[in-house]
């Protein structure tokens, strides 16, 4: 057990003890308030009080004390007296269970998907899931989650279902919580309509506990995030680490709890205000089925006595989320942080290619192979330029070695002469670096794309049972720090091919003797990444492995059939016979080198003085 785990469990113990104490006090305060509300209501309603007294008069001395409270409670309006029942509503996408006490969904089954163990995919279920509003009566002491409702289910004109939960609060006051679930959609509407109550906004709370659905619960917790979009259309998010609290100062359009492949998101077109988020991914050790617990509080404007919400419960499928046109697709992490720019490579190139291929090919391993080939063909021009530049450097190597012998202790002079040599031969020293840099966005784009693609979830290829998570050919009886407790064959193949490619490149490129570290770095780097990629999606490690194999093949073909070093040398000699016209960049570089050289010469004079 590492230090972070010990700290996490310690914090959990403190949290759990605090929660038990707080919950006990809350329950005591709640029952005291309910009792006070019952008495206050009875005083305000003489008939109800008379009924209660009649019931009390018929009791004997042996009647328990809480029987009188039950009698008072029964004399109150229906909203304060009832029995919780479960109401089921479903469409082609979702099967939801609502509680008639509270009028909120307590369970959500996403019908088109299964868990990793092939069970129905229940996103949330049971306690720890609640949507509640504080009503503007009795000084805000009444929450919609504490009321009992009469449900009415009707068929909507579009083929969906509408369920109206009505709670009668007496004295002309009532609340309707109306859900409309379309026939074939993950997005439902939720309208809270008040009658006989006046307010400008409603304080609300939304609690959810997400369940374990994937292969690795550790990875699920790492992927648990809170996403939100402000009313000015700016997006932001944070990853849940331990016990995380956040307050949003700006008006918020939507607020979502994102798991690895699914999310539950509340949307308010009029916006949320005073948003406070309390999230944790440290559930009790005995409960290994809970991934994250989130409790959000906020205020929602009342418009003509109605709070209008939308509620998305479904997959993190880019095309589906994008179809709602409110930025929900930002919950699919296609690139963020310093690599935020690669999300545009994914949006405008990778995803369209993937969608076209998957429209007529069912095997996702074959799709990855074809995508790799297509991308490498698109980048073949840059690849050729990179190899051509490396060939020119090899041709110039004997002359560069001679310059190093002439100026063994004067690197500035060597640099100036090196630039003259490059210019006279018509060689750009950045010719090999720039094409490689231009290919990097595609490598990083794939790093984000494959682990985030729900289309790959539970799709098998070769020995990998699920391309969205790591493949495993052997499970270790112990855990290796920085590596894990399993062996991913795709990761081993990726590492081996990376080492072979590094060895092949070393024989084909010139080495700088003044920087021996760079000589061995290409061989060390694959081993550094071995532990990281051992936990990554099999689709990603297979892509990198196959891409390495194409690079090796591509380099061999280009070197053998497209690059003639004798012709390159002849071309260089021809360039030397032409009048040299240095570029502005070369002129600037030479000027900097001359300035540095002059400063180096003047430094000994200053020291002598």
- Per-residue pLDDT of 523-536, as tens digits, reads 677 788 888 899 89
CA distance 8 to 243: 9
Shared-domain flag, residues 395 and 308: no
pLDDT value for 5: 36
- CA-atom Rg of the chain in angstroms: 34
| CATH code: domain of residue 261 | 2.70.98.90
Shared-domain flag, residues 235 and 248: yes
- Per-residue pLDDT of 130-155, as tens digits, reads 999 999 887 777 899 999 999 999 98
- Give mean pLDDT, residues 239-256: 91
Least confident range of 4-18, 338-352, 562-576 = 4-18
Tokens of 269: 């077109």
Residues 295, 278 contacting (CB under 8 angstroms): yes
Least confident range of 67-71, 388-392, 538-542 = 67-71
Residue 492, Cα to own-chain centre: how many angstroms?
26
Residue 566 falls within a domain, yes or no?
yes
Residue 140 falls within a domain, yes or no?
yes
Q: Give, for 598, the enclosing helix (H) or strand (E).
A: helix 584-608
Write the CB contacts of 287 (distance below 8 Å, at least 6 apart in sequence).
Answer: none
pTM of the model: 0.76
pLDDT value for 318: 95
Start-to-end C-alpha separation, the chain: 63
Residue 589 falls within a domain, yes or no?
no
Interhelix angle 489-508/516-533, nearest 10 degrees: 170
* Reported confidence tier of residue 82, pLDDT bands at 50, 70, 90: confident
Flag whether pLDDT at 48 surpasses 60.
Answer: no
Residue 595 falls within a domain, yes or no?
no
Max Cα–Cα distance, the chain, nearest Å: 121
Q: Is 468 exposed, middle or buried (0-12, 13-18, 19+ CB in 10 A)?
A: buried
Residue 199 falls within a domain, yes or no?
yes
Flag whether pLDDT at 361 surpasses 90.
Answer: yes
CA distance 123 to 131: 16
Residues 343, 331 contacting (CB under 8 angstroms): no
- Per-residue pLDDT of 396-430, as tens digits, reads 777 777 777 777 776 777 777 777 777 776 676 66
Shared-domain flag, residues 362 and 488: yes
Residues 211, 123 contacting (CB under 8 angstroms): yes
Q: Give bridge partners of residue 493 from the DSSP assignment.
A: none
- Give mean pLDDT, residues 79-98: 91
CA distance 431 to 391: 11
Shared-domain flag, residues 165 and 264: yes
Domain count, the chain: 3
Q: Which domain holds residue 149?
A: 78-332
* Reported confidence tier of residue 79, pLDDT bands at 50, 70, 90: confident
CA distance 168 to 530: 63
Tokens of 370: 């074809």
In what side-by-side order are the strands of the sheet with 104-114? 86-90, 94-99, 104-114, 120-125
Q: Which of 332, 355, 378 is the last residue of a domain?
A: 332
Which of 390, 383, 386 lies closest to 568 in space, CA to CA? 390
Residue 608, Cα to own-chain centre: how many angstroms?
62
Q: Give, for 599, the enclosing helix (H) or strand (E).
A: helix 584-608
pLDDT value for 15: 43
Residue 367 falls within a domain, yes or no?
yes
Shared-domain flag, residues 59 and 142: no
Residue 190 falls within a domain, yes or no?
yes
Shared-domain flag, residues 317 and 179: yes
Shared-domain flag, residues 395 and 255: no
Shared-domain flag, residues 101 and 182: yes
Shared-domain flag, residues 243 and 314: yes
């Amino acid at each position: 057990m590492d230090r972070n785990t010990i700290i996490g469990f310690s914090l959990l113990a403190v949290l759990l003890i605090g929660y038990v104490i707080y919950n006990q006090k809350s329950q005591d305060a709640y029952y005291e308030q309910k009792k006070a509300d019952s008495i206050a209501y009875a005083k305000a309603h003489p008939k109800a009080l008379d009924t209660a007294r009649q019931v009390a008069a018929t009791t004997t001395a042996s009647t328990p004390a809480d029987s009188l409270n039950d009698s008072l409670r029964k004399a109150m309006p229906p909203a304060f007296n009832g029995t919780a029942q479960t109401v089921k509503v479903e469409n082609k996408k979702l099967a939801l269970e609502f509680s008639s006490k509270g009028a909120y969904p307590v369970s959500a089954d996403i019908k088109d998907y299964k868990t990793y163990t092939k069970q129905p995919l229940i996103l949330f279920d049971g306690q720890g899931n609640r949507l509640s509003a504080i009503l503007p009566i009795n000084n805000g002491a009444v929450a919609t989650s504490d009321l009992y409702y009469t449900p009415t289910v009707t068929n909507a004109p579009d083929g969906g279902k509408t369920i109206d939960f009505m709670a009668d609060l007496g004295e002309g006051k009532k609340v309707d919580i109306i859900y409309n679930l379309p026939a074939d959609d993950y997005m439902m509407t939720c309208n809270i309509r008040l009658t006989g109550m006046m307010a400008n906004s409603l304080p609300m709370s939304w609690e959810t506990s997400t369940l374990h659905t994937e292969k690795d619960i550790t990875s699920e917790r790492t992927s648990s995030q809170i996403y939100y979009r402000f009313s000015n259309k700016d997006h932001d998010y944070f990853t849940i680490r331990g016990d995380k609290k956040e307050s949003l100062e700006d008006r918020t359009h939507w607020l979502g709890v994102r798991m690895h492949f699914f999310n539950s998101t509340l949307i308010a077109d009029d916006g949320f205000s005073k948003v406070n988020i309390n999230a944790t991914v440290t559930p009790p050790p005995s409960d290994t089925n809970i991934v994250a617990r989130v409790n959000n509080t906020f205020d929602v404007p009342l418009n003509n006595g109605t709070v209008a919400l939308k509620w998305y419960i479904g997959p993190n499928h880019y095309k589906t989320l994008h179809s709602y046109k409110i930025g929900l697709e930002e919950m699919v992490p296609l690139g963020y942080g310093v690599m935020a720019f690669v999300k545009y490579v994914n949006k405008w190139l990778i995803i369209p290619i993937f969608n076209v291929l998957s429209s007529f090919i069912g095997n996702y391993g074959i799709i990855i192979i074809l995508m790799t080939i297509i991308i490498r063909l698109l980048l073949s021009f840059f690849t050729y330029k990179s190899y051509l530049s490396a060939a020119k450097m090899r041709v110039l190597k004997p002359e560069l070695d001679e310059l190093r012998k002439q100026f063994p202790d004067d690197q500035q002079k060597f640099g100036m002469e090196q630039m003259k040599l490059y210019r006279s031969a018509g060689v750009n020293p950045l010719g090999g670096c720039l094409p490689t840099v231009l290919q990097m966005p595609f490598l990083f784009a794939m790093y984000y794309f494959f682990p985030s693609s729900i289309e790959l979830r539970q799709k098998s290829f070769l020995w990998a049972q699920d391309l969205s998570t790591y493949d495993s050919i052997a499970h270790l009886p112990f855990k290796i720090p920085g590596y894990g407790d399993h062996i991913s064959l795709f990761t081993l193949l990726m590492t081996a091919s990376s080492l072979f490619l590094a060895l092949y490149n070393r024989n084909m490129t010139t080495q700088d003797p003044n920087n021996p570290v760079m000589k061995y770095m290409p061989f060390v780097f694959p081993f550094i990444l071995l532990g990281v990629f051992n936990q990554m999606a099999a689709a990603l490690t297979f892509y990198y492995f196959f891409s390495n194999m194409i690079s090796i093949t591509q380099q061999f073909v280009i070197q053998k059939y497209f690059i003639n070093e004798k012709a390159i040398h002849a071309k260089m000699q021809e360039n030397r016979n032409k009048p040299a016209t240095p570029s502005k960049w070369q002129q600037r570089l030479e000027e900097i080198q001359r300035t540095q050289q002059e400063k180096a010469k003047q430094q000994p004079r200053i020291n002598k003085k």
